């Protein structure tokens, strides 16, 4: 079994950074599952999540510098969106086409 200290040394990340990455990966999976559930309940128009790609999404977005680096996530990039600062609420408002959606105002 690999220890956290070995991972920290290999990745050059602190324990807090590793926990933050893991939290965002778990949150991305949870939001995707919720979107799929809302779709099956007839409340969301579609559900195409990025399940299985959370580590790639969070891992590529984590080193980006706010206010400096640009990224244009698309509908499957839940992990990227969460990592760059969108909240689960923002993502679910978009999924449900609500007027408070920060991307399209519910269009």
pTM of the model: 0.84
100 is a domain residue: no
Structural domain of 17: 4-95
* Alpha-carbon span 34 to 61, nearest angstrom: 22
Q: Is residue 101 part of a domain?
A: no
Name the domain count of the chain. Answer: 1
Per-residue pLDDT of 28-46, as tens digits, reads 999 999 999 999 999 888 8
Q: Provide the 10 A C-beta neighbour count for residue 26.
A: 12
47-80: per-residue pLDDT in tens? 888 899 999 999 999 999 988 999 998 888 999 9
Q: Evaluate whether residue 103 is within a structural domain.
A: no
Q: Is residue 105, in this structure, part of any structural domain at all?
A: no
- As a whole number of angstroms, the distance between CA 95 and CA 75 comes to 9
Q: Is residue 104 part of a domain?
A: no
The answer as to whether 60 is a domain residue is yes
The number of beta carbons lying within 10 Å of the beta carbon of residue 54 is 25
> Which of 67, 62, 78 minimizes the C-alpha distance to 27?
78
């Amino acid at each position: 079994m690999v220890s956290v200290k070995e991972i920290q040394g290999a990745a050059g990340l602190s324990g807090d950074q590793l926990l933050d990455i893991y939290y965002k990966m778990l949150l991305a999976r949870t939001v995707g599952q919720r979107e799929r559930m809302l779709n099956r309940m007839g409340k969301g128009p579609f559900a195409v999540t990025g399940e299985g790609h959370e580590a790639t999404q969070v891992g590529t977005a984590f080193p980006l510098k706010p206010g400096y680096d640009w990224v244009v996530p698309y509908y499957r990039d839940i992990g990227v969106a969460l990592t760059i600062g969108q909240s689960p609420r923002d993502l679910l408002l978009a999924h449900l086409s609500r007027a408070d959606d920060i991307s399209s105002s519910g269009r």
